[in-house]
Structure formats: structure tokens, C-alpha cells
A and B are shown apart, each in its own frame.
Chain A
Amino acid sequence: MQGTIELLRRPRLCMGAAIAGKKEGEGPLGTGYDQVIEDDLFGEESWEKAECRFFYTACDTCIRKAGLTREQVDVLLGGDLLNQITSASMAARELKIPFLGLYGACSTMAEGLCIAAMLVDAGHVRTALCAASSHFCSAERQYRFPLEYGNQRTPTAQWTVTGSGASLISSDESLPAIAQCTHVTIGRVTDLGVADANNMGAAMAPAAADTLARHFRDTHRTPGDYDLIITGDLGQVGHDILLELMRQRGVPLITERYIDCGLEVFSPGQDVHAGGSGCGCSAIVLNSHILERIRRGEVHRVLFMATGALLSTTTSQQGETIPGIAHAIVLEGCSACSGAS
């Protein structure tokens, strides 16, 4: 066994919160978010501050929805896409919860959930909060061009989601619970030579295939054992490649039970090319739409796997290929979680 860990005490995912931007609010999942912020700047004076406020608001909303106070949260795990993960750190400065900053590019939500679930499972902490955020405008200026620059996007390019999602994991049985975390599979950095920063889906798909294959091997399960397999932001290209890679590996995914958050978050009419991306993409889709479906009992066992492209503008300009990563966590719905742990 390499990388898959069974969480024997079944820590519970108690609450999720998703704060989305305007374009995301206009998307097909628009009604499910806790809050849709119409103003891209969120009342702040820079995109970075706006993103920080998204992060803060998601955390704050999640804690309040769970009926807790900040003092009752033992640790906050989170990150974002910006250099030195400033959105997360500066939000943590306000939240005053002990903080572990994470960088997993767009896989951050899953990375946070995996670590939080393990911390809670091991009994080191009682309640952990995980969050991730991204902002279209802050990501564009860091990774690409000024916003108003009239460049043309390629068909494989993806649109960074503006938004932030937070999830609360706890062993406290007095809290409401949506799902229990049963397994985590930690990703391996995988690189099959894609250097095109406008085709992140293709760069990340091999990592997703590797994590999935190891997960199935370690747990002796098959794709049929899951009601839903969710990838973070592979987009149309990565989605198609992952299906093909899994077919080649002899563990084909069931198309109807596989979704990608990047394809769910926007509709094709929103001119986002290959779909959504960014830490916020999987974070807001998981913490609204997916958790709601689990809560309603539409799906019982889901595998949530967010993928990240671990490049920087520097390595990209130096001609380095793009390393990808994918972390997975299994969530099982529980209408009556108490006693399960």
C-alpha cells in the first residue's frame, strides 16, 4: 500500500460553505452557493484583498453554519494560488485560528481535507477547518496578462474560478454531519511532459489517473463501488484524457458517475473554453452542490479528487514541463452518522 490511508474513526465532514463570484453565480450551480458576490473587488481595493476576503468569508460562514465559534476550531488548513499563499495567510491573520498554510495549486481543497481528516482521525485535533480560494483577476495578473490586455485564449485554456469554499471536519458527535471520511489517497507528482501552460487539463490528467489507480488497487475497489467520482478542474480536455487513461489501465470509469468540477461550474455558453479551474473551482462545487447531493441522499459514496498543476511562471518560461498532482478523499453520506465512529 502506498499513499492510501483508511480512517478508522471515520471523521465527519460536518459543514461546507461556498462563496462564489458573479460569473460563477450565473453558472448552472448558481443557486446553491451560500453567497454570490456581484462585485469582483468585494468592496476592497485590490484583487488580492478581494480574494482574501472570499477566503475569510467562506471560513466564517462555515463556522457559523456549524453553530461554532472560532475558538472551537482547533486548526485551519488552507491555501490559494497566489505567490506565498497570501490570501489564505492574511485571512488566517483575521481568523486567529492556528493555521497550516498549504500549497497544492488547484488540489489544495483535497489536500486540506486529507490532512484535516487524518489529524481528526488520529485524535490530535477535534475540529479542523479546510479552505481554498482563487480569484480570476488575481490569477490572471500573476500567471498571464493584465486583465484588459486583448490576448486571445486558446480552446484548451481554462477560466480561473472566483470563489472560496470551506469544509469543517470534526469528531464532535454533537455537530450535524453530512458525510464521513473513510479513506484518503495522497497523490504522487506525475509529469508526462506537457509544457503548455494553456493546457493544464492534459498536464494534470496523468496524476489523476495515477492516484485513482492506486486508490482502487489499495482499497480493492472498482469505479462501480462509487456513486460519484469527482475531479477538481481537469476541464473538458483533461476529463476526456482521464477517461482514456483509465480505460488503458484496465479500470474504466463509468461515464455517468464521473464529473469534473471545472465542467460543472460554468455552462458552455459562458465562453470559458475548456472549463473552470483554480483552487476555488473544486472548493465551491464540493461545498455546495456535492455536499447537498450527499445530504439529500442522491449519492452515498463519493470520491473527491482535486488536481493541481505545480508550475510557476518562472519554471514555465525556463521551459520546464508541468508536474501534476491529485489527492483523493472518500466521503460516505450518513443520515445518522452518530455512532458510526
Chain B
Amino acid sequence: MFDKNAKPSPRRQQQLDRYKQLVERMSPNSDMGKGLLRAFWVGGTICTLGQALQEIGKAWLGMNNTAASTFCSTVLVFLTALLTGLGVWDKIGQYAGAGAFVPISGFANAMVSPAMEFRREGLVLGLGAKLFTIAGPVLVWGVSASVIVGIIYAIWPW
């Protein structure tokens, strides 16, 4: 185990391979069709609601495009935070998977749930330190990716 270059003996490797096959055979897979359908209708509904909010902003609240899309994001984030706080959002997430977390709602849930969970350890070392445990990686790699794309775009503007 402590020899980095050691390979399992052929017999051990065969045992590992056979067990891997057995586990794959015995473990149920996620139902892809059902998962896609649920993600599609829940995600679609959230996006439709977002679009409706934008249109309402523009038609009735005198907003321009930028203000209306900010309004849409704000309301969706607020609603998700509220539903997270009420203990409903995790059930929606379990049901709809990516359909629930790909829209901006997922980001709100990823921020509010650790805030609630780690509040008990204090405002600084609990809430403060752990607030970004889920959203942090998304921010780090999202921002990094956008910087790289930005550089490429600056060199080859098309």
C-alpha cells in the first residue's frame, strides 16, 4: 500500500475487476427518462416564471431590459431563499435535480442552506467561514473560466 509504484497482483486485480462488475450489476441506476422529464418541467416552469417576471417588469413597472432582468433574478433568488428557509426547497431539489438548481434558484439555495446549517457554530467561524462551501467552487472556477475566455476574446475578437 505504501509503495507508490506497486500494482495489485494479477489475482487481486482479477478479484477487484470481478467485484466491480458484480457491484455494477447489483446497483440500480438512476431512471434517466424520469429524471430528464422532471428536470425539464420543473426547470422549464422556473424559467417561464422568470420570463413572466421580466415581462411584468417591462410592461407594468416601467423597467428597461437591464432593470427587468435584475428584477427577475432578485425575485427568483428571494423565492428560493424563502422556500429553503421553509424547508421545502430540498424536496424540490430531490424531485427535480438539475431542473431545480441550474436556474439561479440553485445558487440561492446553495448560499442559504449552509448559512442555516452552520449558524449554530457562530457568525464568524460558522456562518461566515462555511457560507461558500457549496457555492465557493462554482464561483472560483466560474470566475477563472470567464477570465480565460475574456483573455482569448481580447486576443481574437470576433
**Chain A residues within 8 Å of B, Cβ to Cβ:** 45-46, 141, 145-156, 192-194, 199, 202, 206, 237, 240-241, 244-245
Contacts and interface: CB of A to CB of B under 8 A. Distances in A.
Interface stretch (B69-77, B82-90, B143-151): B82-90
5 contacts: A46-B120, A148-B89, A149-B90, A149-B93, A149-B134
Contact of A146 (B91, B92, B113): B113
Contact of A202 (B27, B84, B100): B27
Given A206-B19, A237-B27, A150 B94 contact: yes
B152 interface: no
Contacts of B27: 155-156, 199, 202, 237
A332 B91 CA distance: 44
Interface of B: 15-16, 19-20, 22-23, 26-30, 84-85, 87, 89-94, 97, 100-101, 106, 109-110, 112-114, 116-118, 120, 133-134
Nearest to B105: A150
B26 A146 contact: no
A47 B25 CA distance: 37
Contacts of B100: 150
Nearest to A193: B16
Nearest to B86: A148
B136 to A, nearest CB: 13
A152 B26 contact: no
B23 A145 contact: no
A149 B19 contact: no
Nearest to A48: B120
Most buried by B among A150, A199, A202, A241: A150
A150 B92 contact: yes
